[in-house]
Structure 1
Amino acid sequence: MTTAVYHPLFLRVQRLVEGMAGMLAILSGVLLIIAILLTTVSIIGRMMTSIGLSAVPGDYELVQIFCGLAVFSFMPYCQLKRGHVSVDLFIAPFGVKAKVWTQLLGDMVVTGLFCLLAWRHFEGTIDKFDYQETTFILQIPVWWAFAGAMVLFCPIVVTGLFTLWRDIVDIIRGGQADAEEEDYS
């Protein structure tokens, strides 16, 4: 753990963002477990048609929804823990300051993409609502899943903005936090 002293507001926001990201990561795991169980039950049902069992109706539709929401749920945790792909091989020889500047640049790009995707996803949600498109088998309105994902974009963008703040604090501190603690796990 970093021994450096941070502003109380920063620490408060960090705790909130970490708590939110952690809860959403747990939700992501639960959604994936539900998708796995649903798939397993459906496969077993298909194998046992001779005794009157069958696949779960709409299993593909439900698994798509659960897996999509799981990805959006896990994204804040991934961003917070620097889980996105990065190439430190070329930056390492230039020292800690170069690393924190490239992290800032990377987080700016990722946060910008999050904002762009959130905006376009919002537009897509409105379109799905306007056209009242439904899934083929279960007739679930597609906009429900889009709206759920749209809600999850809010913590994704908030986490992206927090990581930018964290990077700026690291730069102001001369990369001290990064030197003391290699990652934010």
Structure 2
Amino acid sequence: MTSEPAGPVGWYHRGLCALIHFLGWIAGAGLMAMVLVTTCDVVLRIFRSSFKGAYDIVCIAAALTVAASLPYTTAIKGHVAIEYFFHKLGRRGRLVVDTIMRVLVIALFCLLAWQSVKYGNSLKSSGTVSMTVQLPIFWVPYVLAASCVLVVLITFYHLTHPGKELMKP
């Protein structure tokens, strides 16, 4: 027997989990890219050489890693909470505060997604590229916007299914 809901809610749940896992792999790849590029740059500097564009690649990989890890952290409820004050409230108070916070998170991440798309559009129209290797970077805010939209969908799931976890860590 599975703990997944049936019907459209099940599809929503499975789709969210698939996207979260996909972005988790992207976050892991970004982290590995940062480690490999930094290691290569350090080793090459021992031989009086350098890795051209290491800074650009590490900055882009860091942005992708942070953006891609947001949905996973939200899904497992891994964000920092003020437990001391939260546990001082009764069950009803916790439910009210939790609901208000989730609605605020949805509003904040909708705003962040919208502004990220606007920023990506401005980078694209101006033709902005990275400093040393001249990589176009307009797509990085688009990835952040997609992650923010996924965080909104995850938070909506948590809002409509209180007490149920979307996935285990």
TM-score, normalised with respect to structure 2: 0.84
- 2:82 maps to a residue whose letter is V
Between stretches 73-82 and 88-97, larger displacement belongs to: 88-97
Question: CA RMSD, aligned part only?
Answer: 2.5
What are the residue-to-residue correspondences of 1:101-120 with 2, within 5 Å? 101-120=96-115
Paired residue total: 167
Aligned partners of 1:130 and 1:161: how far apart in 2?
A: 29
Corresponding residue number in structure 2 for 1:150: 142
- 1:16 maps to a residue whose letter is G
2:124 to 112, 126, 129: 129
CA 1:79–1:158: 2 relative to 1, 3 Å: same
For the pair 1:168 / 2:167, whether they are aligned, the reply is: no
Aligned partners of 1:102 and 1:11: how far apart in 2?
A: 27
What percentage of residue pairs aligned between the two structures are identical? Answer: 23
CA 1:58–1:6: 2 relative to 1, 3 Å: closer
Q: CA deviation at 1:25?
A: 1.2
For the pair 1:35 / 2:34, whether they are aligned, the reply is: yes
Q: CA deviation at 1:152?
A: 4.4
Corresponding residue number in structure 2 for 1:26: 25
- SS of match in other structure, 1:83: coil
Q: Where does structure 1 lack aligned partners over 5 or more consecutive residues?
A: 171-176
CA 1:100–1:21: 2 relative to 1, 3 Å: farther
- 2:155 maps to a residue whose letter is T
- SS of match in other structure, 2:161: helix
| Conserved? CA contact 1:25–1:77, under 8 Å | yes
1:61 to 56, 60, 64: 56
| Conserved? CA contact 1:104–1:168, under 8 Å | no
Q: CA deviation at 1:97?
A: 3.6
| Conserved? CA contact 1:107–1:160, under 8 Å | no
| Conserved? CA contact 1:79–1:160, under 8 Å | no
Q: CA deviation at 1:64?
A: 0.2
TM-score, normalised with respect to structure 1: 0.78
For the pair 1:46 / 2:38, whether they are aligned, the reply is: no
Q: Where does structure 2 lack aligned partners over 5 or more consecutive residues?
A: none
